[in-house]
Structure formats: C-alpha cells, structure tokens
Structure 1
C-alpha cells in the first residue's frame, strides 16, 4: 500500500496521521513502544557499518518509537531532523553545548526561561563562553551587539512570564549577517502557531512536556534543526548521550494527536479570560500578545497564526503579600510551575535576576495557565483571587 502524503492536509488531519504508518506494524494504529539498549546485527560487516549501514545500532541512537515522534515533529517543523531529550531544559542545554566553544560569545534574550539563564550563568560561563543578555524589543538593533565571536543568538518569543514579542525575522537577518546561528525556544506557540524555521531560525526548541504531552504526566524535550545545522546538532546529541525514554516518547506522540483541538480550546479560553481581565478592578495590565492592547500585538499578528493558553497579569499595586493573597484564595487554579496540561495553574513571577527587561510593573506579576475547564468557573475563581488581593 502506498504511503499517504499529509503535507497538504489540515493541521488536525496531519496531527492524527504523521510520524508512523500503521501498515509498517501489521496495521496497529500506534507504533510499538520499543525498550532497547542492545541491537543485534546479522553479521560483523553490518556491525562495523562498512558494507551495509544498519538503521538501528543502539538504544541511544534511536528506535522505531523515537523515529515515529521525530518524524512527526519534522513534518510539523519542516526540519531536517529532530532529537528527543528527557526534558525541556535538556532541549535547551544540548544545542547550546553542541554549538558553543570556549571563547565564543552568545546573546540571550533577557526575558528567557529562568533555568536557561541559570545554565548560561553557571555552566556556559564556567566553560569560558561569554554570555550577554539583550532587550527582547531590540529587533534588528541586535546588530550593534554582535561581536566577531558571536556564535549563537538565543531567542524566546513571547518572553517567559512577561510575554514580550520579539521581531524574529529582523533578529535572524542581523544574526546571520554577523555569522551567528539563531536558536529559539518556541514552546509557547508550538509549530502549529509559529513555524520558527520558516522565519529563518536555525534551531527550534520545545518543552514537549507542555502542549505536545498535554496531560501533566510526562517530561520530554525536542530540538529540530535546518539542513545546515542538523548534523552538528545530531552529533552533539549522540556524544552527550542525553536520550529520552520510550514510554515518555510514546506518551508525547499520543498527546500530539489531540494537540490541535486542545490548543484551540486553550487559545479561545485564554483570550476570553484575558479580555475580561482587562476590565476587572485590581488588574493594572494583562500581558497577553493576542490582545490589541499588547505593545507587541502588531508583530504577533504578522508572524503568529494563533496564541496558546498562558499569559500574565499585573496587579494594580502591591507586592508579594498581595500576590500571595491572590494565589491562596484560588480554588480551581493550582499553584504549580508548569503549563500546557489540562488543568489551570497560577504562579507568582519573580524578575530579580533580569538585567534589562525588569519593567517597571505597577504591582505584583502573576502568570496564569488557562486549562480546559469551563471559562465561567475560571473567571469566578480569579475573581476570588482579585478580591483577596484587594483586601
């Protein structure tokens, strides 16, 4: 039976069918969960790879399970290849280690995910790499920050917890002119709402723990690269041996099948609540790029095809005491440091480690993950929190 090409179908059709062909495994819809370390070769020549190169050589190099998810991600990203690693943070650290050497300079957006900053400020600096943070709104002006030894520009849009929108095409143009590659943490939008490689990004990173997994029960990261960067990324992956387990890979592949319809729900609910919050007493600002009031909305509309379910609010005055009162009054929202799952979450935002993107903000900043619950119930819960913060 000829294999179907789903490249010209709708996104939910693609998500339902990409990655593996059921007829490769006796018609079973889902691929097998292959638990593997050792792979046996038919002869010594194949083992040495001198006559026939074996498709699979060892568990860390890939299995039919990892191949299925990798193929699916490549189909979404338009990438030359994808590696699967044990967490979203590993998806950040592996490419950075693969593309940077002692004496290199890296530019990192100041609104980056906190653990990425910690890795840069500790591991990268210890390895002799010069780390510099830049304003998320710099756009093409990043050309002025480039140095002869700048090898990587690391982006994240929207920015973590404060949701600044970066002008990715302008940054890409300046970075490439200066001889650097561009990496992007694209977890917020997923490749459904922002195809990073189509905008010139070289390496795109996702915490598949979030929307691809979708059920708050799995840790996984994916890193995809264009043709120019794929071989170096792949070699770093093989050298470091940071590979994902088969059960986690399978769970993310399963979650991927429903990611489109879940994201539609996350997007609709989050925008509804964000617009409602703009009118609520006790809220100074809503930091959601999908809102017309957001400073980066024009770039967002130009580059993104949708928004996900996470954004922040700024309370109208107060500090940690008011933030704590808001959070402690919530009954449906959990207090937890993740997102992308079915449940709504809220966490306080701390910006003390930033050097550029510090605000100012009118009051405490709180990040909200809007889950799959009924919107009216979530609004009632947020109202409880706002009343407690005002009190």
Structure 2
C-alpha cells in the first residue's frame, strides 16, 4: 500500500500522526524509516556530481531520516517546506537572518520567549537591524508601528509566561498590506491545536524539543514556511550549514506518533489544576487562555483547537518584599514538580519567572509569577504536591 495515498484530510489527528512521515514500501516493509548517518554521499559519475542530478548530495542537505520528519511536519503545518535546526532558539534566529538585513526594522512581540529577545538585542542590533517591541494585544493597531523599512513581524501566542493571546489573523493581514513577512512561535499549541499558516502567518516556528519530543531528551527546532517564503528560508539554511541530526530526527518522528494522545492528557490535567488554583484564596490570578476569566480567552476559543500543559499563576502576596521568599518557599517544597527550564516532557515542572527584560508587559505587581508545566502524572498527586508548597509559602 502506498502510505501517502491514505492520508486524506478527513482522517482523525491520531490516525494521521501514526502514518505521516514514513513509507514502509520504500524500506522493505519496515514500519519506521532507517536512521541514515551521512556526511559524504557518492555520485555515480562526474556529470551527476556537477549537476547535482541525484536527490542527496551531502549530509547537511538532508537524509532520508531528516526528510521523513520534514515531510511529517509539512503534513501537519500545511507548509511548502520545513527545515530542521539544532534548537528552538535556532528556529527563531535562522528565519530572522533569512528575512532581515542591515537597515531593516522588525516588530517583536513584547511577551516573546526571552532568548529571542536576547538574540534580537545582542545580535540583530549589532548587524544593523532596528528592533521594536510591541504590546501583544495590539491587534490591528500594529499598523501604527509599521515603518517604510519594516520587514518582519514576529508573533507568539500565547505569550511566554504571561500567556497573552494575539489576534494572529488581523496582525498578519495588516503586516501583509505593508509587505512584511510574519513569523510565529507556535511551540505552545503545536500544529495540532493551531496551524499558523491557515491564519496568514508565513513562517511557523517550533521548539520540537517540547511536545513533539515529549521526553525531555532531545533539543531541536523546526521552521516551516509557505510557498512564497520557503525558497529563501531553505537557501539560508543551506548557506549557513544549519541542519538537524538524523538520530534526533528519528526520535522526534517517534515522538509525533503519541503527541496527540499526550497533548490530550496535558490539556485535561492542566485545566483541572488551573481551575483548582483559581478557586484558592492564596492565588491572585491564573493565566491560562482556556479559562473564561482570562482576558484573551475569546481569541483562544475562536482560533485554537485546544490548550497544552503550560500556564502560569500569580501567588497572592501582601508585601512585595516577600515576593521572592514566598515563591522560593513554595517551589523548594515541591517534590513531584521539578525545578527546570523547558517543558513538553512527561514530567511536571515549576519555575519562578523573571520578567525583568520586558519593556511593555512587565511583571505583575500583586505577587510572584509561577509557571507550571503539567506533565503526565496523576492530577491528585500534583495537587497534593502543590498544597505542600502553598503551606510552605504561607509559613514565610
């Protein structure tokens, strides 16, 4: 059977995840594609070598293993092409370098992933790119910030840590009126819960380190572009020699098979805990887009098909001098929640968020911001763990 022939649009998401990115008939019937380790690729003759008249020419330009993952991601994203890069940050920096030049102006959402801001401020500014940050809830008002030299608008929804929702379709429409490329970090939702290219985004960015991997053991990123911007993105990756490894690609491809099932569990558990936190007197606010109380809930409800396992809450603290002490007391008491960066794995994580780099959407004033990644553990156990943390914070 030709695997690609059965992938019709009416198939369920888990069925598609089980069948994308491989063709058993091409590999003697084996279910999984082989891991092809390659640098040098041999050519049959000089003419073929000179004209690159065969599919593979060198390891950095793709292998059957990396191609399998790219094909799977294109299927999920609806994109014309995908590149693989060594990290989530590289998935941001490579397209920025592809589409920005000295003298250009770029609009970056202020709730952006912090390492992205560091790259913009430390690298792009040094290369002569003008960087301006904008309010994530600006919507159509972004038109007032676009200049004649504005070339790129970067979005992220929900925003890192503070979870602001953006009206992606409206921002894209305005940006395209002025000839700007629109990029989006869609790591939180994955293409299962939001497909950026369907909402006007040109380039969809993911830290596949997170949910596609699912096991906290792979660092990788992906960048998927529409037909208009794919050639330039692909050329940039080739020029820079940026590529993903075959071993990591195989692991990510394997992780995709269960991503739908895992995301359902993350979503269900995170919403349960978010509602529980919202009912507590020692919590000032819960920042989760799927909660009706959240300011951006209507945008999430309209545009997104689901929510993942990452959200934040503000611990209620009367005295700002105790913000850090209260947060640390809570976090240091946790035993099931690990203290660690990243997310998307099977284990729950917690983090006291530092928002000192923000220029517009600054840290809340009513208490420290705690970000949670709800893993695959049982919710009752996670609540007991948090209960112990709240008790410790109250004792400070």
> Contact (CA 8 Å) 2:2, 2:23: kept in 1 or not?
no
Tell me the equivalent position of 2:26. 24
CA distance in 1, matches of 2:334, 2:363: 26
State how many pairs are aligned: 389
- Mapped to 1, the partners of 2:53 and 2:259 lie a distance apart of 35
| d(CA) in 2 for partners of 1:74, 1:357 | 33
Contact 1:7 1:75 in 2 (8 A): no
Pair 360,348 (structure 1): closer, same or farther in 2 beyond 3 Å:
closer
Question: What is the aligned partner in structure 2 of residue 376 from structure 1?
Answer: 380
Aligned residue for 1:339? 343
Verify: 1:323 aligned to 2:327, yes or no.
yes
Deviates more, 1:252-261 or 1:313-322: 313-322
Map Cα deviations across residues 299-345 of structure 1 (whole Å, 9 max, x no partner).
00011000000000101114111110110010100000010000000
Provide the residue aligned with 1:243 in structure 2: 243
Partner residue of 2:149?
149
Between the aligned partners of 2:288 and 2:215, the Cα distance in structure 1 is 23
Contact kept in structure 1, 2:167 and 2:299, CA below 8 Å: yes
2:307 is paired with a residue whose SS is coil
| Aligned twin of 1:306 | 306
1:124-163 matches, cutoff 5 A? 124-163=124-163
TM-score, length-normalised on structure 1?
Answer: 0.98
Give the aligned partner of residue 68 of structure 1. Answer: 68
1:153 partner SS: strand
Partner Cα distance (2:53, 2:98) in 1 = 25
Query: CA offset at residue 361 of structure 1?
Result: 3.5
What is the Cα deviation at residue 269 of structure 1? 0.2
Measure, in 2, the Cα distance between the counterparts of 1:348 and 1:270.
18
1:244-323 matches, cutoff 5 A: 244-317=244-317, 318-323=322-327
Correspondences of 1:94-133 after superposition (within 5 Å):
94-133=94-133
Separation in structure 2 between the aligned mates of residue 104 and residue 7 of structure 1, nearest angstrom: 42
Distance in 2 (alpha carbons) for counterparts of 1:361 and 1:79: 41
Distance in structure 1 (CA, Å) of the matches to 2:42 and 2:311: 49
The answer to whether the 8 Å contact 1:314/1:361 transfers is: no
Residues 358-381 of structure 1 deviation map (CA, whole Å, 9 limit, x = unaligned): 153310001000000000000011
5+ residue gaps, structure 2? none
Superposed counterparts of 1:24-103, under 5 Å? 24-49=26-51, 53-103=53-103
Cα contact 1:161–1:311 (8 A) shared by 2: yes
Cα displacement (A) at 1:90: 0.7
SS of alignment partner, residue 84 of structure 2: strand
The Cα of 1:53 is off from its aligned counterpart by 2.3
Distance in 2, Cα, partners of 1:303 & 1:101: 32
Match of 1:192 in 2: 192
Distance 2:248 2:2 in 1: 30
Rounded to whole Å, the distance in 2 between the matches of 1:5 and 1:156 is 33
Runs of 4 or more above 3 Å deviation: none
Q: Distance in 2 between matches of 1:301 and 1:241?
A: 40
SS across alignment from 1:222: strand
Q: For structure 1, which runs of at least 5 residues remain unmatched after alignment?
A: none
Matching of residue 183 in structure 1 with residue 183 in structure 2 = yes
What SS does the aligned partner of 2:128 have? coil
What is the rounded CA distance, in whole Å, between the counterparts of 1:340 and 1:311 in structure 2? 12
Distance in 2, matches of 1:30 and 1:351, equals: 43
| SS of residue in 2 equivalent to 1:231 | helix
Where does residue 169 of structure 1 map in the other structure?
169
Structure 1 CA distance for aligned equivalents of residues 204 and 344 of structure 2: 18
SS at match of 1:285: strand
Q: Aligned-pair RMSD on alpha carbons?
A: 0.9
Task: Encode CA deviations 1:114-152: one digit per residue, 9 max, x unaligned.
Answer: 000000000000000000000001011000000000000
* Secondary structure of 2:228 counterpart: helix
The answer on whether the counterparts of 2:2 and 2:25 sit within 8 Å (CA) in structure 1 is no
